[in-house]
Chains A and B, each alone.
Chain A
Amino acid sequence: MNDLPKQKETTLSFEKIKKDILHPMQNHKGLELWIVFLIAVISVCGWAYYIQLKDGLGVTGMRDYVSWGLYIANFVFFVAVSLVGMLISSILGLLRIDWITPISRIAEIIAVAFVAVAGLVIVLDMGRPDRVLNVMIHGRFQSPILWDVTVITTYLTVSALLLILPMIPDLAICKKELTKASPIMKKLYNILSLGYINTPEQHKHLHKMIRTLMVLIVPIGLAIHTVTSWLFAATLRNGWDTTIFGPYFVAGAFVAGAAALIIAMYFFRVNYKLQDYITDLQFDKMGKLLVAVCLVYLYFNLNEFLVPGYKMKTGDDVHLKELFYGHWAIMFWSSQLLGNIIPIILLVYKKFRKPLPIMIISLFVLAGAWFKRYVIVIPTLLHPHLPIQNVPENFVHYYPTAIEVSVTVLSFALVLLIITVLSKIFPVVPIVETAESKGIEVKIDA
């Protein structure tokens, strides 16, 4: 772990860490413009959703055969990305891997934003969103949707706690240091910091709670994406009717989540000038982690496509031919090659694990992960057991409409807005943990 020069650290003091991390929260003009832009995007795309509400889901490209489309593919993608919170701050945290300290909060912010909007995307996809409470009133626990609702809300809650609890010491600092903050924000810091002044007693209790949550979130994290995969695997359709969907989705989620984290790390490093904290070391390590999870995902892909491809069972054959060299081949192979295989090869080399190259590679991985979900959801629905006949031409294909794309853009803008707002009101790099990990004395005034 000491393979990178660390001479800069000697110049770091607790005061400097506080200043470096807190400064961009209050002095970043571009950030406010960006928030305004996101709100504008959300409002415009909100109009598209209004049209969908008024005229029905017929304004989308979905029809009786492709009855799940862009929204569900996007939902699966969001759930996948959110799993990075569990991977970084929980699994690696429990293993006491120290290079994650400066990026664990970014991972939790990503987790909270994506899983919260994932829940909303499901409502956007509903034919009768006005009846969403029926899930509580008439809920049947035999349905995987109920399991999904349960684990998503639990994961959101525990992720939010894992974001806030480790932040309590930092919030105590915010309360003191952010003198220019609005009264509302001051009140928020005051409430959330819970009177923390870093006494040994408080320190012990807090870390006990955090570790308990870190253990708790492992099964919940696994459950959230496993259950999401069961929405498909619980059906009798070619391409979905497979037993490895749970671990296959979890592996894919680690890929998408790690890529999203690297991209976010890069943007915070550059925009918040956090080069001293989110260092080359973090990118290098994340690069290695990304290779590892990509290899696991590649292994699952081999199982998922090679084995049925070898047998070419009736039903599967049409589906697989369409993926391998038919209508879906370009999307299928680019998600496999550009989103997985080529990144693995590149990231083996150290020079590609530098911040800028790895960020660009991660953009491809993340885009590949998105298209991979699209290829998982839609082609299967176009290849049912019985032929598609006596229906209009647009039932036989699926192309998302402008409305659908707009509503999807809305969900992305909402994720970015949540991430932006959280990173504006909370320090994105843990102040106290960073200082502690560098052996610098921490002092929090009452």
Chain B
Amino acid sequence: MKEETSNNSRRKFLKSFGISVGAAGVVSSFSLIGAAKAAAKKPAEMVNLLTQDGQLVQVDKNQLRPTVTEPLDELQKRGREGIPGKSFVMVIDLSKCRNARKCMAACQNHHQLRADQHHINVLQMQDAEHTAPYFMPKPCQHCDNPPCTKVCPVDATFKRQDGIVLIDNERCIGCRFCIAACPYSARIFQWTEPKDSEKYKDLTYNIEANVPQKKGTVSKCLFSADRLREDKLPSCVSSCPNGVYYFGDRNEDAVTNGTTGETVRFSKLIEENAGYTLMEELGTKPRVYYLPPKNRAFEFNGDLLNEENLH
């Protein structure tokens, strides 16, 4: 992400909170708490860990301690406020999506989801009978006129100053009105005990990643708000092997490609490629922009044409 202009203020901002969440994103999947408990029984067992700079290292399990996180109140407060001065947008280039689904896997890993739970879902689309089919990754559109937050009876889902729509699972009553209200089917519900809930039960709730997930509440794509706080791109964006995703700040007019790392002007990218938003006729004003699936350098290999789940 291009961060030159506001880097200083941003650094200060982050420091003032005392960053210690750094490793949380990387190691959460290893569950340090669980590992530390296990260590009491089996001494001198080594585990592989990925450090922040991408090195794979071996550590004695006895040395592992749970990541020190902010207290819940602090996480909730800054989670509701958002990152000042930012206006996050995503651009999805449909001409590049080959249905690799690395985005879906990374997202499910980050947000502790099962394989059938999608914050982002790669759909096979065909707009009309004789038009070309294509793959369309569909995250939450983080609408500027969000139908979901309007209907929430308890302000559990809300829009922040940086444009991200979040869910507070400490407050959600599970009425599922927001699921009914979302025209993009972007929201999911934890119908049963979430994946690995036993393992993560002692983890402090982080509203910006919506983990640990909670039974009986709603979840959805958050643009990996916890990673944005660390100046990282969302999980789906960084994991794409095909250069489909751009992510950045509309205020800076800059978006960065998650695969190539290349930063381009947002307005120019949209203008030159005839970018559009999904179902703009509904008036939801999405923050996710799509570039049309033209000039594709690969064959559409989906089984769409055999499927009847099209409409």
Contact = CB atoms under 8 A, between A and B. Distances in A.
Interface of A: 55-58, 60, 62-65, 67-68, 122, 125-129, 131-132, 134-135, 137-140, 142-146, 149, 231-232, 234-237, 318, 381, 383-392, 395-396
B180 A68 contact: yes
Interface string B230-247: 000000000000000000
B121 A389 contact: yes
B217 A390 contact: no
A392 B181 CA distance: 22
Query: Is chain B's binding surface mostly helix, strand, loop or mixed?
Result: loop
Given A63-B191, A131-B173, A134-B173, A384 B183 contact: yes
Contacts of A236: 147, 181, 183, 282, 284
A231 B191 contact: no
A138 B147 contact: no
Nearest to A390: B121
B179 interface: yes
A139 B183 contact: no
Contacts of B17: none
Interface of A is mostly: loop
Interface of B: 104, 116-118, 121-125, 138, 147, 150-156, 171-177, 179-181, 183-185, 187-193, 215-218, 279, 282, 284, 309-311
A386 to B, nearest CB: 6
A387 to B, nearest CB: 6
Contacts, number: 146
A265 to B, nearest CB: 36
B116 A391 contact: yes
Per CB-CB distance, the 3 closest pairs between chain A and chain B, nearest first, are A127-B174, A127-B216, A58-B192
Contact of B189 (A55, A67, A149): A67
Nearest to A62: B191
Nearest to A234: B151
Contacts of B180: 67-68, 231-232, 235, 237, 381
Contact of A135 (B150, B153, B215): B153
Contacts of B147: 235-236
B259 to A, nearest CB: 22
13 contacts: A56-B192, A63-B191, A67-B179, A125-B175, A127-B175, A128-B216, A131-B172, A140-B153, A140-B154, A231-B180, A234-B181, A236-B282, A390-B116
B128 to A, nearest CB: 9
B208 to A, nearest CB: 19
A145 B310 CA distance: 33
A126 to B, nearest CB: 5
A123 to B, nearest CB: 10
Given A55-B192, A127-B217, A134-B171, A143 B282 contact: no
A139 B153 CA distance: 6
A56 B216 contact: yes
A386 B138 contact: yes
A145 B192 contact: no
Contact of A144 (B151, B156, B171): B151
A389 B309 contact: yes
Contacts of A231: 177, 180
Contacts of A134: 154, 156, 171, 173
Nearest to B136: A386
B279 A385 contact: yes
A139 B311 contact: no
B140 to A, nearest CB: 12
B17 to A, nearest CB: 25
A65 B154 contact: no
A399 B166 CA distance: 31
B137 to A, nearest CB: 11
Contact of B155 (A67, A132, A140, A392): A140
Contact of A138 (B154, B174, B177, B279): B154
A96 to B, nearest CB: 41
B118 A390 contact: yes
B310 A387 contact: yes
Contacts of A145: 151, 153, 175, 177
Contacts of B179: 64, 67
Given A63-B191, A128-B216, A138-B154, A318 B177 contact: no
A57 B183 contact: no
Nearest to A389: B123
Contact of B154 (A125, A139, A388): A139
A197 B259 CA distance: 86
A149 B153 CA distance: 10
A389 B124 contact: yes
A149 to B, nearest CB: 8
Contact of A128 (B125, B172, B177, B187): B172
Contacts of B152: 140, 143
A318 B311 CA distance: 7
Nearest to B150: A142
A61 to B, nearest CB: 10
Given A127-B190, A138-B154, A138-B156, 11 more contacts: A63-B189, A67-B176, A122-B175, A126-B175, A134-B156, A140-B153, A145-B177, A146-B153, A235-B151, A318-B311, A390-B116
